């Protein structure tokens, strides 16, 4: 006779996954039934068979002989927080992002059936699996510079039953063979927007990427001199590992010790200072921030046009504009 008893681990994993989804929904995300189904059905624990805690001092593992630590690993796999999946020489180089933030980003990507998506930063493969669930694996391409990351992402995806194109390469160059793309989503922080991405998009494509502790949503259009893109930041804060590739390195942030602590630790002020880079020193940034009544992220935007790119406040042609690295 077949043993019809439920698998205790499968039951526990499903309960953790459903609890994760309930928490995300309670926070206001996953209003789209298709994305909710993806989060309910894609097993996140398969994408984080191990991860680091305590700043990298300890590793939780799915095959730990201690059942208490295995249970801790499973709970952490479905907790609403980012988990560090790869640390090299003490530096975090890859993680599996916070599920609620991933849900908001995927909903903001605004995909439609039949569209092709390019993901920059394969990470654990979990985001590509969610996209594959929603659009079909043939519509999804994910690129990462690190062959170890792409190999593990490919393995995780196969274990979960998904086979999108997983490419080892410089994400700053996109991946033309699978284009043109209707959507591009980055899961790493950009110092500037690669023109190559725009060139690989269809007109009216959407690019969503972390930038300066925020999320920029760009619309790609066709202009007199070629493709250009423009858009505003979303309200949501976002902190990701930096994009690795051939783009300029982010500008080192100036010392904030000359400012009051309540200012230097304010998220919106740090966003402004990070966005304006070397253009404004902390005192100039503080003066602007106070003069404009502590502007929220949504008042800022980015334009990429005619070989230049710049950040702006309120108006891309207004008085407050700042050139971006490489722009």
Kindly list the catalytic residues.
97
Q: Is residue 167 classed as helix, strand or coil in its secondary structure?
A: strand
Dihedral-angle region of residue 246 (phi above 0 means left; psi in -120 to 50 means alpha; beta otherwise): alpha
CA distance 277 to 294: 18
| Complete edge-to-edge strand list for the sheet that includes strand 214-223 | 165-168, 140-144, 117-120, 181-186, 201-211, 214-223, 226-232, 300-305, 308-313, 321-323
In sequence order, the 6+-apart residues with CB closer than 8 A to the CB of 294 are: 266, 268, 269
In sequence order, the 6+-apart residues with CB closer than 8 A to the CB of 49 are: 61, 62, 63, 156
**Which two tokens mark 169?**
């390469």
Residue 41 near residue 14 (C-beta atoms within 8 A)? no
In sequence order, the 6+-apart residues with CB closer than 8 A to the CB of 252 are: none
| Complete edge-to-edge strand list for the sheet that includes strand 83-88 | 58-61, 50-53, 83-88, 91-96
**Which two tokens mark 227?**
């493709």
**Which two tokens mark 273?**
């200072």
């Amino acid at each position: 006779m077949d043993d019809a008893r439920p698998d205790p681990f499968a039951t526990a994993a499903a309960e953790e996954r459903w609890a994760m989804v309930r928490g995300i929904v309670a926070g206001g995300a996953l209003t789209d039934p298709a994305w909710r189904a993806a989060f309910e059905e894609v097993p996140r624990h398969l994408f984080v068979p191990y991860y680091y805690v305590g700043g990298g001092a300890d590793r939780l593992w799915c095959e730990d002989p201690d059942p208490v630590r295995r249970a801790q690993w499973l709970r952490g796999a479905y907790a609403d927080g980012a988990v560090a999946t790869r640390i090299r020489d003490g530096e975090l180089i890859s993680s599996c992002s916070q599920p609620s933030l991933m849900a908001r980003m995927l909903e903001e990507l605004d995909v439609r059936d039949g569209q092709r998506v390019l993901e920059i930063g394969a990470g654990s493969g979990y985001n590509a699996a969610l996209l594959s669930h929603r659009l079909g694996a043939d519509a999804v391409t994910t690129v990462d510079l690190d062959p170890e990351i792409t190999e593990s992402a490919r393995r995780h995806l196969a274990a979960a039953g998904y086979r999108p194109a997983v490419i080892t390469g410089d994400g700053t160059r996109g991946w033309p063979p699978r284009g043109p793309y209707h959507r591009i989503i980055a899961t790493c922080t950009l110092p500037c927007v690669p023109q190559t991405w725009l060139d690989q998009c269809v007109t009216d494509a959407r690019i969503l990427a972390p930038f300066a502790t925020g999320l920029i949503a760009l619309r790609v259009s066709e202009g007199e001199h070629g493709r250009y893109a423009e858009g505003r930041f979303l309200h949501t804060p976002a902190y990701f590992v930096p994009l690795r590739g051939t783009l300029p390195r982010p500008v080192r942030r100036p010392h904030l010790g000359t400012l009051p602590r309540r200012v230097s630790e304010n998220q919106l002020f740090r966003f402004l200072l990070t966005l304006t880079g070397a253009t404004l020193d902390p005192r100039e940034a503080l003066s602007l921030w106070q003069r404009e009544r502590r502007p929220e992220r949504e008042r800022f935007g980015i334009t990429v046009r005619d070989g230049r790119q710049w950040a702006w406040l309120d108006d891309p042609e207004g008085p407050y504009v700042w050139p971006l690295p490489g722009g």
